[in-house]
Amino acid sequence: MDARIDPLRGLGLAIGDAHVIRNAGALITDDVLRSIDVSRSRMRTDRALVVGHTDCAGFDSDELAEEGVRTSMRALKAAVPELRVDGAMYDVRAGMVRPVA
């Protein structure tokens, strides 16, 4: 939900290319799952990308933010097994996205 980040531009996408759900800490909450369910059922979405970022106020370190992405990836895979789930971290200083495994 960080205002320093434009998720579409950061991922090289345009309006209409992706459904973007933003919340603090990139957490998989009931609201996120409800939004993904709508995206899947109405738009046939079959892939999700969980993106965290450096300098996140929700975590004490970038390492913990990255582990939060991994935790959210696991939670999303468990909740929606048929969804392909990937993870990434956005470096706010460098303006670069890198994968998280």
The answer to whether 32 and 49 are in contact (CB under 8 A) is no
Query: What are residue 91's phi and psi, to 5 degrees?
Result: -85, 110
Query: Taking the domains of the chain in order of start, what are their residue ranges?
Result: 7-100
Please tell us whether the domain made up of 7-100 is placed in CATH 3.20.20.70.
no
pLDDT of residue 37 exceeding 90, the answer is yes
Beta bridge partners, 48, equal: 85
| Spatial separation of the C-alpha atoms in residues 96 and 54, rounded to whole Å | 10
The answer to whether 40 and 83 are in contact (CB under 8 A) is yes
pLDDT of residue 101 exceeding 90, the answer is yes
For residue range 52-96, list pLDDT tens digits in order.
999 999 999 999 999 999 999 999 999 999 999 999 999 999 999
For residue range 74-84, list pLDDT tens digits in order.
999 999 999 99
Question: pTM value?
Answer: 0.93
Residue 54's pLDDT is what?
Answer: 97
